[in-house]
Each structure stands twice: as C-alpha cells, then as structure tokens.
Amino acid sequence: MFDFDTLPDRRGTASLKWDFAGRIAGREGLLPLWVADMDFAAPPAIAEAVARRAAHGVFGYTLEPESYFEAAMHWLADRHGWNVRREWLLAAPGVVQTISAALLAASAPGDRIVIQPPVYHPFALRIRANGREVVQNPLVLDGDRYRMDLEGLERELAAGARMLILCSPHNPGGRAWTGEELERAAGLCARHGAVIVSDEIHADLVLPGRRHVPLASVSEAAARITITCVSATKTFNLAGLGGSLAIVSDERLRMRLKAVAEAQWGGTANCFAAAASEAAWRHGADWLDAMLAYVAGNVAYLADRLPRELPAARVLPLEATYLAWIDLRRLGMSDEEVRTRLLDAGIWLDEGRKFGRGGEGFQRLNLACPRSVLDRAVGGMVRALGGKAGR
C-alpha cells in the first residue's frame, strides 16, 4: 500500500541531510544516516493538503484553526489514551523553541537545569543560551537497557535544581519509559518544586509491542508541573514545515509560558504546517503503522547482521524512535578514529559524544530509510571498522 523501499531523490531540495555534506561534514558524496528525518515520502493525504493550500496562492498571516487543535486532541486520545482539554493547548513553532520559552517562563538566570545524557544535544545548548546552568544526571546502562538514575536526580533536586528536561521516548537511547518510571521521576520533581519539560516529539514512534505513556497522564502531581511538547513533524517527516504544541494543564504555568510565547514568537503560524499537521493527525494512522512495521524490520536486520559481521559492535534494543544506538567501545578506537574511518568509507552517522556524557564510543544510525540504503550502510561500516568480509 505504501512504498518504503524506493529512495526518494532529495538532492537539490536544500535538504540538510543530502545537500550539505561538504559544509557540515567536510566531505561530499556521503551516505547520510545521521540527522533524524526520514527518507520516506510523507503520507499522500499530507501532500494533498499542502498542494490544496499552495493552489490558493495567497500566503498571508495565518493562525491555527480550531480544527487543527481538535485533530490533535483526537490523535492524543486515540493513539495514547490521553484526553486533553482545548484550553491546555498552546501552538508553537517547534519543540526546541518551546524548550527555550519554558526555560524563560519557569526558571531564572543562573538556575540549575537537569538533563539525562546521553540525550538530544540541543537541550544543553538551549539551557546555556538562556543563561541557565546545565546539570548532567547521566542515565545508567544496565546491560543493554538504560534506566534513569533516580537517586542522582533526587540529589540534584535537593541541591536546588529547578527543572528537569525529559526526553520521552528517549533519544538516542531508544527507551519508551514505563508509567512507573515516569511517576517516580515526576514525584521527585513535585516534592522539590521543580518543573518538568517533557519532550515527547517521538511519542508516536513506539515500535510494535511497546507503548508511549504521556508523562502528564501518570498522576495529578505530574500534570501540575509538566509542560509537554508534541508535534506531527517527527512522526510524519514534516520537519521542514515546523509546528508543534505545548500542553500545560496547570493554569498558572500555562499563563507564564503563554506570556513568554507571545513575546518571543509573534503568534502567527506557518500556513503549510497547520494544514499538514491537521491532515497527518486525521488521516495518517495507517501510514504510520505501516512505516513502524517497516522500521521494525530494519531494526531486526541491523541487530542480526552488524554484530555478526562486526562482532565488536553491539546494537542496543530499540523500543521507540527510528534511531539505532550502536555501542562500538569494544573496538578500542577513539571517537575521532571511528568518525574518520566511517567518513573515509562514505558513511555519515551521528557521533555519540555529541549527546553528552555517556555517549562516548557510540554512534547513532537513522533506520528510517529503505532496506537497500541500510544494507549499504552496514556494509560500509563493516569494511571501515575491520569486521568480517561483507556479503
């Protein structure tokens, strides 16, 4: 029904992933499996909605229509069992922008803000850019599965940390946090008067057999202190359009965020983002299910082939996201040597060390690609890093 085996030609579209290797990586002709966007075309209903909007020919100032918010509310209820109210929703240009606004709304200059590395690197960048202090409370890798260091989190909160920025599901570790884990973390933050910003942009990307639990749904205490960030962009490959939602049930916290948003963002929307996201939430479920099944096949392919041909490699089990987290520490190579060897072989992955403490020795690989692309990437990795002869 949907074609995930054909690689779209994205060159010449100003694609960050495909058109700027020379500028970003210093080399041309690389196979890019780094940045988290898909090499799949978006669902047809989205392309049709954008085409209809473009055909109108007038692209003036735009606000999100009520139908946009209604579509989001229905999606959250149907997909995640989370019934949110209209007044909780604030439209935003993107999740990273919302994190910056939340920092300004719910903390003060110099405040200590907790993140749990290895984690999405813009968290630390936004904290520093807004004059706050980054506090790293690293995840604990138990065997091949990450867990939160709740004792460490409580120490940091007791020492005065004012906010936790949570990645849920976790990028790059691939965890879909359980309700119990989330409730314990939220309880600690509530006890110490800290706000949680929960980046749930990967919420829809849980793999078959897993489920996403919205943090704000686990308890009343969690709901009172949480700013939840969601978006259709990661789910349906719409990052070039932007657009997201902040969900805040506590009125005082919501009004503080809204005041910063009005000062920072200007209040208008991208007309194509609004049309695309609404179409995605209303008509994208079948495509998403098919895409996740295809990615699950890529997960199985990578987990079987790479360790067999490169025995020093360990592919951590993936519960959510389409981003494989590969442990290469047993190679005994420095991060720089691994990076250089991969680039020399034409393979462009995301270096684990950019995700902060605990990311050293890892590489992140984007699995939202045709199987033939993954096949090329694995073969290149094996050749570059000294594995057994490829197929």
Mean pLDDT in each 10-residue stretch from start to end of the chain (391 residues)? Answer: 96 97 96 98 97 97 96 98 98 97 98 98 98 98 97 98 98 98 98 98 97 98 98 98 98 97 87 97 98 98 98 98 98 97 98 98 98 98 78 37
The angle that helices 150-158 and 179-191 make with each other, rounded to 10 degrees, is 20
Identify how many contiguous H helices and E strands the chain contains and give both numbers. Answer: 15, 15
β-strand pairing of 163-167 with 112-115: parallel
Query: Quick one: which H or E segment has residue 187?
Result: helix 179-191
Same domain, 117 and 215: yes
Query: Quick one: which H or E segment has residue 379?
Result: helix 371-385
pLDDT of residue 390: 40
Cβ contacts of 141 within 8 Å, gap of 6 or more: 358
pLDDT of residue 268: 84
pLDDT of residue 176: 98
Contact criterion met (CB below 8 Å) for 363 and 385? no
pLDDT of residue 388: 57
Same domain, 215 and 168: yes
Same domain, 138 and 205: yes
**If you write DSSP's letter for every residue of 84-124 in order, what string do you get?**
--GGGEEEES-HHHHHHHHHHHH--TT-EEEE-SS--THHH
Location of structure tokens 């709901």: 223
Contact criterion met (CB below 8 Å) for 271 and 254? no
Residues linked to residue 379 through DSSP beta bridges, in sequence order: none
Same domain, 271 and 293: no
Contact criterion met (CB below 8 Å) for 176 and 211? yes
For 349, the domain range is: 16-43+285-385
Q: Is 328 a domain residue?
A: yes
Q: Tell me if the pTM is above 0.85.
A: yes
Same domain, 270 and 360: no
pLDDT of residue 91: 97
Residue whose C-alpha is closest to residue 231's, from 339, 76, 120, 355: 76
Distance CA 93, CA 101 (A): 11
Q: Which runs of consecutive H residues, i.e. helices, occur in 38-176?
A: 44-56, 66-80, 95-106, 122-129, 150-158
| Burial (0-12, 13-18, 19+ Cβ within 10 Å), 270 | middle
The domain that holds 65 is classified in CATH as 3.40.640.10
Q: Is 72 a domain residue?
A: yes
Same domain, 272 and 306: no
Contact criterion met (CB below 8 Å) for 237 and 252? no
Which of 237, 265, 283 is the last residue in one of the domains? 283
Same domain, 68 and 136: yes
Structure tokens at 174: 């691939």
Same domain, 139 and 194: yes
Could you say which DSSP state residue 336 is in?
H
Same domain, 263 and 304: no
Which of 219, 252, 283 is the last residue in one of the domains? 283
Phi, psi of 194 (to 5 degrees): -100, 145
Distance CA 281, CA 266 (A): 25
Which of 283, 304, 334 is the last residue in one of the domains? 283
